[in-house]
A = this chain, B = another copy of it.
């Protein structure tokens, strides 16, 4: 496994405490030695929760657990581990989630269905609940309001840098903060992936409203990122609202106008984290931002954008710094969406390389090649059919991706 940090890494931000959230990390020795691999967060009573999960038909045991627990709308504890996904582990897997919930509910003094669980790592290996029994009580005795970078590090698998984002805005004049962490970095595809992200705020928002905000926010952030088109069994995005910001108004309606800044900030946190996941795509050397404009609809634009972003030929061309727009045409064509070859234009950055069905007469190969040397490459396809548009992010496909995934288990 590679140990070099992605050249696209961004610094971890300064993240302030969130009133009502305390956490600790621990080294349970689940797979990795010499590192902390468990993250335990405790939430004050009254914390609401929302979640979005993988669409896999073979979800992990923790995903099943969280989906069921979410119905209660209340959260008091979160237990996350890296190194083992507790997926495709049958009855043993369900027993492990029950044991994790029992341990955490004892520590937090809450009901088991107020405990949320996420696991990431190898699929199909039993996850021993004794590993949690050995560390959770002690971790619960050590919880503190920071540092968030420790939590971000504890949930990493093949990630090469910890991922965090934070925003502070006001709701009804009261400052509230949103902190989020995430891990990638392979098996990342729309509708989530082995992507775990945990976001907490001290705003006071009822669970149904929180869910509405999250479900909407995920569409243009985590659901617009793909690394390799593979969808994990374990994708989990949870949003916790403690309501502990002093004086924060209690919001129950997701369309409440007082939420305007909060909604924008939440979307920014989610998008920031999602792009960091693409920046840390396995083996990534370049971040690709794919814009599709002029599509028949926004939905059509997104399918075309994902077809481009998931194309191995587009991604390897980017790795080779090759302005191979013909492959972008191919990817537009294979999407199966309305497209007219003879109206299509393709841009790399501001350079229009193809226009109305053929190479742009003014196209400079030298300029386009120079552009491809950038770390961040914007590819735009304008279909010139309608007003639909979409933006998705991915990374290039390098030999390092193959190396990382060719010997992940060994």
Contact B358 A319 (CB under 8 A): no
A57: chain B residues within 8 A (beta carbon): 332-339, 341
Name the B residues within 8 Å of A93 (CB-CB).
358
Q: Is A90 touching B356 in the complex (CB atoms < 8 A)? A: yes
* Closest B residue by C-beta to A227: B312
B123 to A330, Cβ gap below 8 A?
yes
Which residue of B is nearest A125, CB measured?
A: B359
A31 touches B (CB below 8 Å) = no
Task: Determine if A333 and B56 form an interchain contact, defined as CB atoms under 8 angstroms apart.
Answer: yes
In the complex, A89 has a CB within 8 A of chain B: yes
Q: Contact string, A388-410, partner B, CB cutoff 8 A, digits 1/0?
A: 00000000011101110111111
- With contact pairs A58-B339, A333-B231 given, residues A357 and B88 touching in the complex (Cβ less than 8 Å): yes
Q: Which residues of B contact A230 (CB under 8 A)?
A: 311-313, 327, 330-331, 334
Q: Are A342 and B312 in contact (CB under 8 A)?
A: no
Cβ–Cβ < 8 Å partners of A301 in chain B: none
The interface bits of chain A over 309-326 (1 if a CB of B lies within 8 angstroms of the residue's CB, else 0) are 011110011011010111
Check B330–A407 contact: CB distance below 8 A.
no
Q: Residues of B contacting A337 with CB < 8 Å?
A: 57
- Contact assessment for B56 and A87 in the assembled complex, using a CB-CB cutoff below 8 Å: no
A233 within 8 A of B: yes
In the docked arrangement, what's the CA distance between A333 and B122, Å? 15
Which chain B residues lie closer than 8 Å to A311 at the CB level?
A: 229-230
Chain B residues whose C-beta falls within 8 Å of the C-beta of A123 in the assembled complex: 326-327, 329-330
**Does B358 contact A312, Cβ atoms closer than 8 Å?**
no
Complex Cα gap A344–B338 (Å): 37
Q: Known contacts being A56-B330, A327-B123, A330-B232, is A88 close to B320, with CB within 8 Å?
A: no
Task: Specify the main secondary structure of chain A where it touches its partner.
Answer: loop
Closest to A92 in B: B358
Residue from the set A87, A91, A189, A408 with the largest chain B CB neighbour count within 10 Å: A408
Residue pair B87, A231 in contact (C-beta under 8 Å): no
CA A233 – CA B332 in complex, angstroms? 10
Q: Annotate A247-288 by CB proximity to B: 1 below 8 A, 0 otherwise.
A: 000000000000000000000000000000000000000000
Given the complex, which residues of B lie within 8 Å of A122, measured CB to CB?
Answer: 326
Cβ-defined partner of A89 (8 Å) among B88, B335, B358: B358
Counting CB contacts under 8 A, is A187 at the interface?
A: yes
The closest CB in chain B to the CB of A232 belongs to B330
Provided the pairs A230-B311, A317-B406, A399-B403 are in contact, do residues A59 and B322 lie with their beta carbons within 8 angstroms? no
Q: Is the CB of A402 within 8 A of B124?
A: no
Of residues A186, A326, A330, A407, which shows the largest number of chain B Cβ atoms within 10 Å of its Cβ?
Answer: A330
Chain B residues with CB below 8 A from A335, complex form: 57
Q: Are B402 and A333 in contact (CB under 8 A)?
A: no
> Is A228 among interface residues, defined by CB-CB distance under 8 A?
yes
Contact B333 A59 (CB under 8 A): yes
Report yes or no: B357 in contact with A326, Cβ–Cβ below 8 A: no
A87 and B406 contacting across the interface, CB-CB below 8 Å = no
- Tell yes or no: A354 within 8 A of B by CB: yes
A55 at the B interface (CB under 8 A): yes
16 A-B pairs with CB atoms under 8 Å apart are A55-B336, A57-B334, A57-B339, A58-B332, A89-B359, A122-B326, A126-B359, A186-B313, A228-B313, A229-B310, A312-B397, A319-B402, A319-B406, A322-B408, A324-B408, A324-B409
| Given A123-B327, A401-B402; 19 other pairs, CB 8 A cutoff | A55-B334, A57-B334, A57-B336, A58-B330, A85-B326, A89-B357, A90-B358, A93-B358, A126-B358, A230-B330, A233-B329, A233-B330, A313-B405, A317-B405, A317-B408, A320-B408, A320-B410, A398-B406, A399-B402
Nearest first, the 10 A-B pairs at minimum CB distance are A123-B326, A320-B406, A58-B333, A90-B358, A56-B333, A316-B405, A231-B334, A399-B399, A124-B326, A90-B357
